[in-house]
Amino acid sequence: MQIVAPPRFGVFFDQPPPLSLYIHFPWCVRKCPYCDFNSHEFRSVDLPEASYLKAFEADLHAALPSVWGRRIETVFIGGGTPSLLSAEGLDQLLTMVRTLLPLHVDAEITMEANPGTVEVERFKAYRAAGVNRVSLGIQSFNPQHLKVLGRVHDADEARRAASLAQEIFPRVNLDLMYALPHQIQAEALEDLEIALSFGTTHLSCYQLTLEPNTPFHRHPPELPNSDEAAEIGDAITARLDHAGFRHYETSAYAKPGAECLHNLNYWTFGDYLGLGPGAHGKLSYRDHVVREVRHRHPRAWMDAIADNNSALQSSERVPDKDLPFEFAMNAFRLTEGFSLDLFNRRTGLPIQRFLPTLDALEKKGLVRRDTKCVAPTELGSRFLNDLIQAFLRDA
């Protein structure tokens, strides 16, 4: 484990940002060929749920000093496939959280779920345990596309899961992917129309990309070209705008008031404690910011806790010079941008130092701004990496 360097002076926070909790559940039924997340197929008959929960409790206990006295505003249980947890296991996990951490009385508690693991009684039990928002990994309602993507659910299961989620949970997100192998625009829009038919108020629409160290990267399928993919993305945005959805983040659309509060805390450079295998965290102290990473493989995570009473693989101070880049990497995902005051509150640095950078970006047509706010233009959103790199070069 790497030790945090002693704090240097120069960055000060009057008060810490809002704090969220991310919980990683690492197992899934089958690894999808496009997936580069920290997920692992469980090949034994029984899921190691009891061992996971025991290790999670130890991980949580060990993390308490780093967030002592701070309230948790949102919780997100991601994976993997968290809906493989039994109802009893999920209730036990959330009971640990409520017992050991101050949790906002109206905290948004999101759980990711795979349509292939949906059961009515299990969904009802998750809701009773406190989950008030579910995110369903639909990806597509098209049988051929689901097969190519290697999903464990079929089109009927996708429809059934979306319908049940709307009945049981107050808030629902549906994940869709577009620019799939051999997909045409009409097929992507058909997926969108089916998703809208269930009445969800939040949709995540991701363009399929070929990530390193995945089967799709080693054996690339034939995808729509970049122009075709952009046209599909534009058509999706136009249809959702017509349906009353706001494109509030790079890949997220929501009806007013239905935005994902947990993700908004990420994009506004809030703090988050990450627990579970491979979980990342970002925590602000009075004069510095720390990035934490836990051991990635489930067995390594469990062994580290058993041997050292700590799951941390690394805990490192973010150099002050890197804070503007890290802030920009998150905040410019928001299509409506951020206030200049937020930059100061989250980084502890004066925005005046970076006004020449903003001037240059504005001249290139990548940002728009006034005396209070700055936001990416449509061009800036398309070339987000170029926009963000400006803050790295000028650090």
1 vs 362, more confident: 362
Alpha-carbon gap, residue 185 to 204, rounded angstroms: 17
Lowest mean pLDDT among 100-114, 227-241, 292-306, 342-356: 342-356
For residue 301, being part of any structural domain is answered with no
Dump pLDDT digits (tens) for 61-100: 999 999 999 999 999 999 999 999 999 999 999 999 999 9
Q: Which of 224, 241, 265 is the last residue of a domain?
A: 265
Same domain, 71 and 192: yes
CATH number at residue 163: 3.20.20.70
Lowest mean pLDDT among 36-50, 115-129, 131-145, 237-251: 36-50
**Where would I find the beta strands (DSSP E) of the chain?**
19-25, 27-28, 40-41, 72-79, 103-113, 133-139, 171-178, 202-207, 246-249, 252-254, 271-275, 280-284, 289-294, 312-317, 338-339, 367-369, 373-376
pLDDT of residue 395: 56
Same domain, 79 and 220: yes
CATH number at residue 345: 1.10.10.10
Q: Are the beta carbons of 380 and 387 closer than 8 angstroms?
A: yes
Is pLDDT at 287 greater than 60 in this prediction? yes
Q: What is the DSSP letter of 373?
A: E
Same domain, 113 and 223: yes
Same domain, 330 and 246: no
pLDDT of residue 334: 97
For residue 311, being part of any structural domain is answered with no
9 vs 370, more confident: 370
Q: 250 falls in which pLDDT band (50, 70, 90)?
A: very high
pLDDT of residue 122: 93
Taking alpha carbons only, the member of 285, 343, 313, 325 closest to residue 6 is 285
Q: Which of 265, 283, 308 is the last residue of a domain?
A: 265
pLDDT of residue 262: 98
Same domain, 247 and 372: no
- Domain count along the chain: 2
Domain residues for the domain of 152 are: 19-265
pLDDT of residue 116: 87
pLDDT of residue 1: 47
Same domain, 352 and 233: no
Dump pLDDT digits (tens) for 308-350: 889 999 999 999 999 999 999 999 999 999 999 999 999 988 8
pLDDT of residue 44: 61
Is pLDDT at 35 greater than 60 in this prediction? yes
Is pLDDT at 7 greater than 50 in this prediction? no
pLDDT of residue 118: 85
Same domain, 245 and 332: no
Dump pLDDT digits (tens) for 341-382: 999 999 988 888 888 999 999 999 999 999 899 999 999 998
Is pLDDT at 4 greater than 50 in this prediction? no
Same domain, 338 and 204: no
This prediction's pTM? 0.94
Alpha-carbon gap, residue 367 to 381, rounded angstroms: 9
Is pLDDT at 107 greater than 50 in this prediction? yes
Rg (CA), the chain: 21
Alpha-carbon gap, residue 387 to 332, rounded angstroms: 8
Is pLDDT at 204 greater than 60 in this prediction? yes
